[in-house]
Amino acid sequence: MGERQSELLKAIVESYIKNVKPVGSKSLCKKFNCSSATIRNDMSYLEELGYLEKTHTSSGRVPSEKGYHYYVENLMKPKEITGEDLLKLQTIMDNKELVLSDAILKCMEIISDITNYTSIVLGKNSEHNLLKQISIIPIDNKKVVAVLVTSTGHVENKQANIPNDISVKEIVKTGEIINRSLIGTPISQILEKLELEIKPQIAKTMEKYEELCSFFYDAFSDFKEKTDDDIFFSGKTNILSQPEYNEPGKIKEIISKLENIELVKNIETDNKDIKIYIGSQNNFDPDTTVIKTSYNVDGETGTLAIIGPKRMEYDKVVPLLNYLKNFIER
């Protein structure tokens, strides 16, 4: 591919990303100072190479999946983040009152707003995610709320009914024993320690120890499931505003995929670089692009991902994601 053809492909990709309209030869003549016939020949050549495609409704061309790949790998020049957008992100990351996980979520919300794409954070808490506190808050004689706080600032709560044969007082007292014994324990080890170490302690002082331990075992099982794999969306419906998703069938399909937790979990990565998966590469949806990277701070790991159409503003998304990753891991 010659220099002019490369620049022509770049211009067509960026025009289609911006305008969502097939690009004709006449619109490019002035930019390249060439005749329409010359541009058409170059476009035909790029089509033969597989970088462009014709549409059924226009004589113009649109980028193929291969064309987007070539653009991203060879032609794209990342845009500078605007001062306004930079300030929004810095304000969040410099807020010392926010724990890291909350700061990341708020920044991804901002990136979702800036780009109008869907952002996802997949958190994976490690052995460094420890139990900081378990609190039992009585609602009435039959209900309590159990609140769990971890060392990474993760908070979960669960409302639970109290079994008929135990009292609120017994639940609260058992919670105090668990607090004294399990503070600082990795979340992944709590269930085992509850069964092997805490249950014998409770049995010494509480008559209904089996029922009490069963109550807390159920609560911690729910907590563990939630803190093992956290999935957070921002701008979940943003992708539906893209022209690619204006048909009812396609809208239903992409919503179904975003609600499929197992499918979304497949987006997870441990790759430290910013990676771009276009169309058939991403194993999520062939009409989307997924841009993702991982982060690791003090043992807390996760995936940052942006989902949008193949016609994504790659030059805008990549620097935003890269800036956030570098800020997190500084």
**Residues 132-178: pLDDT tens digits?**
888 888 888 888 888 888 776 667 777 888 888 888 888 888 888 88
Please give the Cα distance from 260 to 234 (Å, whole number).
16
Residue that wins the pLDDT comparison between 81 and 58: 81
**Position 58 confidence tier, pLDDT thresholds 50, 70, 90:** low
Torsions phi, psi of 26, nearest 5? -60, -35
Model pTM score:
0.71
Identical fold, 3-75 and 83-117+235-328: no
Instruction: Pull the structure tokens for residue 243.
Output: 């022209």
The count of residues in the chain is 330
Spans of all domains in the chain: 3-75, 83-117+235-328, 131-228
CATH 3.30.390 fits 131-228, yes or no: yes
pLDDT band at 229 (very low <50, low <70, confident <90, very high): low
Q: Report the CATH fold assignment for 83-117+235-328.
A: Beta-Lactamase (3.30.450)
Second CATH level (architecture) for the domain 3-75: Orthogonal Bundle (1.10)
pLDDT one-digit tens code per residue, 258-310:
988 889 989 999 889 999 999 999 989 999 999 999 998 876 788 999 999 99
CA angle 11, 278, 295 (to 5 degrees): 110
Residue 61 has a pLDDT of: 92
pLDDT above 90 for 236: no
Q: How far is CA 60 from the centre of its chain?
A: 35
Confidence of residue 47 (pLDDT cuts 50, 70, 90): very high
